[in-house]
Amino acid sequence: QCELQGLWRRELGSSMTILALVTAGTFSGSYHTAVAATNKQILVSLLQGIQQHPSAKRHPTLGFTVRGQFSDIPTAFVGQCFVDHPGKETLETTWLLWEEVLSHR
State the pLDDT at residue 53. 67
Domain total in the chain: 1
Is the pTM higher than 0.85? The answer reads no
- What are the mean pLDDT values of the chain's consecutive 10-residue runs (105 residues total)? 86 87 86 71 84 72 82 85 88 87 87
Task: Assign residue 37 the CATH number of its domain.
Answer: 2.40.128.30
Paired with 79 in beta bridges are 62, 93
State the pLDDT at residue 45. 86
Asked whether residue 21 is assigned to any structural domain, the reply reads yes
CA distances for 42 relative to 38, 55, 83, 91, angstroms: 8, 36, 31, 23
State the pLDDT at residue 70. 59
88 and 72 Cβ atoms separated by less than 8 Å: no
Asked whether residue 105 is assigned to any structural domain, the reply reads no
State the pLDDT at residue 14. 85
Q: Please enumerate in sequence order all residues whose Cβ is within 8 A of that of 74, keeping only pairs 6 or more positions apart, or say none.
A: 65, 66, 67, 97, 98
Asked whether residue 50 is assigned to any structural domain, the reply reads yes
Asked whether residue 57 is assigned to any structural domain, the reply reads yes
State the pLDDT at residue 69. 63
Asked whether residue 73 is assigned to any structural domain, the reply reads yes
The parent domain of residue 76 ranges over 6-97
Asked whether residue 49 is assigned to any structural domain, the reply reads yes
